Amino acid sequence: MALIFKEGRPVVRLRAFRAIDDPKTCERFIEGHAHVLTAIGVKKVTSSKNDWMYNPAAFVLIVESLDGENVYGGARIHVSGGSQPLPIEEATGNMDAKIFDLVWDYAQEGTGEGCGLWNSREIAGYGIGSIFLTRAAIAIAPQIGIKSLFALCAPYTINLTKCVGYRLESGVGNNGTFYYPKLDLLATTMILDDVNNLELASEEDRKAILELRNRGNVVRIEELRSKEIEIHYMLQLDNMDKWNLTEVIKQMTKQHTNAEFFDENNLNIL
């Protein structure tokens, strides 16, 4: 999985697609993510957690080599109303059923969740597993039609999500937080209320997201902490004539607490 460099910078492609349109890339996403989890000591990831690749309401962002052979990171947006509950519902519903009402209310105008964010060791430190994938996910949200986004954040991603326009949602859990004793992890519920206007985002992040949104397919030299990377963005989603958010919302059923969803060893946290 060696990176290609040009003028001292790694060169990668960041591509967006609907999960069911590209099963082979979904499999490479899953394999790459599993390698990362194994490296940090997570030995077993249940196969059911990969059902998102068959979810018609899941959208994927993948960071790969320009030839598509190597994968360096990824993220996903799951839209409420697909074949699965949102990951945040699975992770917190057993502890506070109010999450189901909250998601349901937002889902009436179209909502989703940013999740599954990861990057490989080869590309660590260049912002792929943090700011650049997060910006790209928000950039494509209007193509999907959703108005808002949820995120369940580990402590080290809270500031990142605030920069791109999320706010803490204190109406669920313990003022927005959930504690997982097996993992000794505090997770925080965040919501981006308006993916179109991004009123709470920093000026720098808002400007970058809107440029990605307006241009879709563009090459940018990105910089994080004096490290530069060349990213070939391909954010124009294909086959969107086959996607109908209105129908997804119409067919949606409200989720309820289900112990089968919950596996503390296998949480999907940003």
Which CATH number do you get for residue 217?
A: 3.40.630.30
Residue 112 predicted with pLDDT over 70: yes
Strands 5-6 and 217-224: unpaired
Domain range for residue 125? 5-252
pLDDT score for 265: 55
Q: How far is the C-alpha of 232 from the C-alpha of 217, rounded, in Å?
A: 7
| Within-domain flag for 93 | yes
Question: What would the pLDDT profile of 74-87 be if each residue is shown by its tens digit?
Answer: 999 999 999 999 99
Q: Quote the Cα angle for 157-57-61, to 5°.
A: 45
- What is the average pLDDT value for the chain, to the nearest integer? 91
| Within-domain flag for 259 | no
Token pair 């990171």 is found at 73
- 147 and 121 in contact (C-beta within 8 Å)? no
| Within-domain flag for 269 | no
Confidence band, pLDDT 50/70/90 cuts, at residue 42: low
Q: How far is the C-alpha of 233 from the C-alpha of 222, rounded, in Å?
A: 11
| Within-domain flag for 22 | yes
pLDDT score for 268: 63
- 270 and 115 in contact (C-beta within 8 Å)? yes
**If 0-12 CB within 10 Å is exposed, 13-18 middle and 19+ buried, where does residue 165 land?**
buried
Q: Enumerate the β-bridge partners of residue 59.
A: 18, 77
| Within-domain flag for 270 | no
Nearest to 56 by CA among 244, 250, 269: 244
pLDDT (mean) for 25-33:
93
Residue 36 predicted with pLDDT over 70: yes
Evaluate if pTM is beyond 0.95: no
| Within-domain flag for 257 | no
For the chain, the domain total comes to: 1
| Within-domain flag for 231 | yes
* Residue 211: φ, ψ to 5°: -65, -45
pLDDT score for 228: 96
Count of CB atoms situated within 10 Å of the CB of 57: 24
Question: What would the pLDDT profile of 242-267 be if each residue is shown by its tens digit?
Answer: 999 999 999 898 877 665 555 555 55
Q: How far is the C-alpha of 173 from the C-alpha of 48, rounded, in Å?
A: 26
| Within-domain flag for 260 | no
**If 0-12 CB within 10 Å is exposed, 13-18 middle and 19+ buried, where does residue 136 land?**
buried
Confidence band, pLDDT 50/70/90 cuts, at residue 4: very high
